[in-house]
């Protein structure tokens, strides 16, 4: 399965850590963590489906 690159994962984790540390209370931390989970999930789905957008007929990977 196509996966996010290590660099992308690292970037996401760093940003997630930054947001978590900024949260002043547990519910805000929960919201930010959940937002990052969704972000990661959607980024992963888009990665898997790369090339299926914009007509779904071709993928730049195949060029």
Distance of CA 44 to the CA centre of its chain: 6
Q: How many residues bind another protein (CB under 8 A)?
A: 27
Instruction: List binders of another protein among 12-41 (CB under 8 A).
Output: 15, 18-19, 22-25, 27-35, 37-39
Residue 2 within binding range of another protein, rule CB under 8 A: no
CA angle 32, 35, 38 (to 5 degrees): 155
Q: How far apart are CA 55 and CA 53, in angstroms?
A: 6
Interface ranges with another protein (CB under 8 A): 15, 18-19, 22-25, 27-35, 37-39, 42-43, 45-46, 49, 52-53, 56
């Amino acid at each position: 399965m196509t996966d996010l690159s290590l660099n992308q994962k690292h970037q996401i984790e760093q940003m997630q850590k930054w947001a978590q540390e900024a949260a002043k209370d547990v519910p805000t931390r929960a919201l930010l963590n959940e937002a990052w989970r969704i972000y990661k999930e959607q980024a992963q789905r888009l990665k898997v489906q790369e090339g299926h957008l914009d007509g779904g007929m071709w993928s730049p990977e195949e060029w």
